[in-house]
Every structure is written in structure tokens, then in C-alpha cells.
Amino acid sequence: MDKLKDKFASKAMPMAEQTRKLVKEHGEIVLGQYTIEQVYSGMKGMIGMITETSKLDAEEGIRFRGYSIPELREKLPVSKEGPEPLPEGIFYLLLTGEIPTLEEVINVNNEWMKRANVPKHVFDMLDMLPAKTHPMTQFSMAIMALQTESVFAQKYREGMNKKEYWDPMYEDIMNLIARLPRIAAYIYRKTYKDGIHIEPNPKLDWAGNFAHMLGYEALDFRKLMRLYLTIHVDHEGGNVSAHTTHLVGSALSDAYLSLAAGMNGLAGPLHGLAAQEVARWILDLREEFNGVPTKEQIAEFIKKTLAEGRVIPGYGHAVLRKTDPRYTAQQEFAKANMADDELFKIVQLLYEVTPEILKSTGKIKNPWPNVDAHSGILLIHYGLTEYDFYTVLFGVSRAIGVLTSLLWDRALGVPIERPGSVTTEWILNKIKKETSEAEAKA
């Protein structure tokens, strides 16, 4: 058994026992009530699942195992190349709840290196797809093609004791995360760089190697990738990609099937695809006004987008009610590394203009920017201009969060998920009944 697997088992097994006991002893304690409005609006604010890896606060933003992003930028081990945390560190933290040492992070990287080989049939399948296939579709299909390698599916077929589910799931999530940068880079080079592929460099860390395989050798781009892949990992359990991975996994679908499903959710424009939409929208804005627009021109462009019944991409959030700290982390990176960039100036102006206009509509609950409002312009700065690819980068990072959660699900014995649903007729009858009961009492 590898050391990390040992460590996970030492944390997860007592916790599984503890959760069984708490459900038995305190299962009847009420956590909340919910309304008809919540049922009709995406179950917002209803507590419906357990996610051990992170927790989102509407005002403060995300905490990973209790640590905020600024705290993690201080505490997680960094590469010798610069100040940004290594994503291997946040993986370790999400998995075990502990901040790793540099040695532990290097061990994760070594483990992923050993597991990074992608079978040829995955590349063959990708090569057969029409050139216009969206990178996210390619990414999801590649993950599905890799499912031939699932240790969990094989062990289940052989007949596995429930108590052992976590063990092959650990192997699957380690193998999958190890392989994703190679797959993503292959999709990028195939789609945009004439299929000239770049072999991994075993001397680099996971994110640095990903930058290298994409074809970007600038030191600052490697730093950006380390930050980017760290801050996008997780956003508690209810967001579409996390919830989908968890839900599909609850049927004991293996990590490959579950992650591909989650990635299909990430590929929606109200979720991760917003990263691409933001870049497209900002480039249109710049083109419309031949350069950095004035605040008045920005306001005009925003109002036109709203009048067309479209959303302002990168703004708003289902839970957050303040500026996303993942936005702020990227803003700080831009200030330190590309303060004079034209698109960064536009993003800064948008930050000044957009919230007031969104507030004035009277219906948007969060007028502040989310993570996607910033990421594209950082990538464009370093030459990665093919914005249809951006959500794949998001997906490589998000896999770390949703897969560590999936492993926790199997270790804790989380059962199949099956919420109830009702018809509108059922709701109308309930309203009728409650109204006549209230009238009878009055």
C-alpha cells in the first residue's frame, strides 16, 4: 500500500464508523425546512448532501478543509520556481484534511508520474472525431474511453465486499488525475496545433508538466497554471459538476463514468463554459470600441447584452453574494505579472461598472464577479487564445475536488441518491388544502 493510501484509510475508516454512529444516534435532528420557491428554483439553500472536502460561505467564499484561498497561498508547499502553490498539495489536503509537507507533495507527484500513461486507444478515438468537436466534448469522451482501465469496475465484476469499495476507487482516482493533463494537452495540440504532440517532462510537477505538454514554456505561465489548477479544484458539493459526479457515483458507477458525467455538466454555459463565454464577450467588447472602452461604452455594451435577453458571463453566482475570492486571487496575479495588459484593464473597468448595472435590474441576487470573469484574459496574455479550450483547463482542476469527494463517498458508504419529486398538481393541491385549513381556523 502506498503511504497516501495508508493515510487515507487511517482517516476514513474511523470517520465511516463515526458517521454510522451519528446517523443512528442523532438521525432525527432537523437540519432545515424548505419552501415551494426553493423547489422551483434549483433547490438553492437546501442542505441535501455531505461533502467533506470544502465548504462555501455566501459572504466569504470557499474554504478548502477550513482554509481560505489566501491562507492556502501561504501554507501549501510551492514549487522552487515561484510563489504559487502546487496543486498536488491541495489534492493531499482535500483527501486527508492535512496540509502536506513538501516531501508529501513530491510523493503525490511521483505517484501521478508513475500512473500517467494513457492507453493508445484513447488517442485513436480522439483522432477519429470531427475537427469541429468541442474540446469539452472530446475531454468527456476521452474520459469515457479510459473507462476500460477502471479497477473499481473490474473488482465489482469479480465480486467485491462493500467495505472494500474505497480501495479500487482510490486506484481509479489516482490513475485518472494522473492522466488528465496528458489527455487535455493532446486535445489542445490536436485541435489547434496541427496534432504536433509534446512528450511529458518527468522533471516537472503536475501543473508545470501540463503547461509544457500544452506547448507553453514561459516560467510565468507555469506559475499561472499552478495557481489556476489549485483554485478551481472544488466549490463544495452542490455545484453542477460536483453534484453530478457524486450523484452518478452513488449508483456505484466508477470514477470514469462519474467524472465524465460531471464534466458534461461543467460544459454548460451557466457553469464552467462561462470561462469561454467571458473571453468571447470581452474580445467582442474590445472590438466594438477598437481598444479599451470608456466606462460609458462598457455600460452601453452591458445594457445591450441584457436587452438581448442574455446573461453577462462571469457575473452572478448561485451561492456567493460577494466577489469570488478565486477572482481576487487571479486579479492579484494579474497585478503582479501583467499590470499593463490591455484586457486586464478592461476586466478592471468591468469590475467598476458591471455590479451597479446588475443591481439596478432588481432581480440578480449577486452582482459580483465569479471565478470565470478573470481566467480567460490571463491565458490570452500568455498566448493561449483558443478560448473554446478554457473549460477543459477548468475540468482538469475540478477533477481533483470531485474525485476526492467521490472517494470519500465510497469510504463512508454513502448510499444511492434518490430525492423525492412531486408534480405541480401535487403542489396546487397542497396549497388548496393549507388555505382551506387556515380559513377554517380563522
Q: Give the residues lining the site for ligand CMX (CB under 6 A).
A: 239, 270-272, 274, 306, 311-318, 363-366, 370-372
| 305, three cell numbers | 447584452
Residue 383: C-alpha distances to residues 203, 272, 346 (Å): 24, 21, 18
Shortest spacing between CB 153 and ligand CMX, in angstroms: 29
Smallest separation (angstroms) from ligand CMX to the CB of 199: 32
- Rounded to the nearest angstrom, the gap between the alpha carbon of residue 78 and the centroid of all alpha carbons in its chain is 21
Name the minimum Å distance from CB 296 to ligand CMX: 20
- Considering the candidates 232, 235, 271, 374, report the single residue annotated as catalytic: 271
Closest CA relative to residue 319, chosen from 32, 36, 63: 63
- Output the furthest CA–CA distance in the chain (Å, rounded): 77
When the beta carbons of 239 and 323 are compared against ligand CMX, the nearer one is 239
- Closest CB 371 distance from ligand CMX, rounded Å: 6
- Residue 115 buriedness (CB in 10 A; 0-12 / 13-18 / 19+): middle
Q: Of these residues, 317, 324, 374, 381, which one is catalytic? A: 317
Q: How far apart are CA 399 and CA 396, in angstroms?
A: 5
Least distance between ligand CMX and beta carbon 323 (Å) = 13
The C-alpha cell that represents 131 in the structure block: 475537427
Residues forming beta bridges with residue 54, ordered by sequence position: 64
Could you tell me the CA-to-CA distances from 402 to 234, 262, 306, 310 in Å, in that order?
7, 8, 33, 29
Of 216 and 315, the one with the shorter C-beta distance to ligand CMX is 315
Annotated active-site residue 232? The verdict is no
Give yes or no: 317 in active site.
yes
Show the DSSP H helices in 309-341 as ranges: 325-337
Q: Least distance in Å: CB of 265 to ligand CMX?
A: 10
Q: Which is nearer to ligand CMX, 108 or 400 (CB)?
A: 400
Cell of 146: 479510459
Q: What's the one-letter identity of residue 226?
A: R
Measured between alpha carbons, how far is 102 from 227 in angstroms, rounded to an integer? Answer: 17
> Smaller CB distance to ligand CMX: residue 1 or 270?
270
The nearer residue to ligand CMX, 20 or 310, going by C-beta atoms, is: 310
Shortest-Cβ-distance residue relative to ligand CMX: 316
Helix (H) or strand (E) holding 183: helix 166-192
Q: Which of 372, 374, 381, 409 is catalytic?
A: 372
243 included as an active-site residue = no
Is the CB of 304 or the CB of 365 nearer to ligand CMX?
A: 365
Nearest to 204 by CA among 112, 74, 139: 112
Supply 2's cell numbers.
502506498
Q: 280 with 440: CB under 8 angstroms?
A: no
Q: Angle at CA 54, nearest 5°, toward 115 and 263?
A: 55
CA–CA distance, 307 with 303 (Å, rounded to integer): 6
Shortest distance, position 318 Cβ to ligand CMX, whole Å? 4
Residue 349 to residue 130: CA distance in whole angstroms: 39
Of 9 and 319, CB closest to ligand CMX: 319
Amino acid letter for position 343: L
Q: Give the residue with the Cβ less far from ligand CMX, 209 or 276.
A: 276
Q: How far is the CB of 125 from ligand CMX (least distance, A)?
A: 28
Residues noted as catalytic: 271, 317, 372
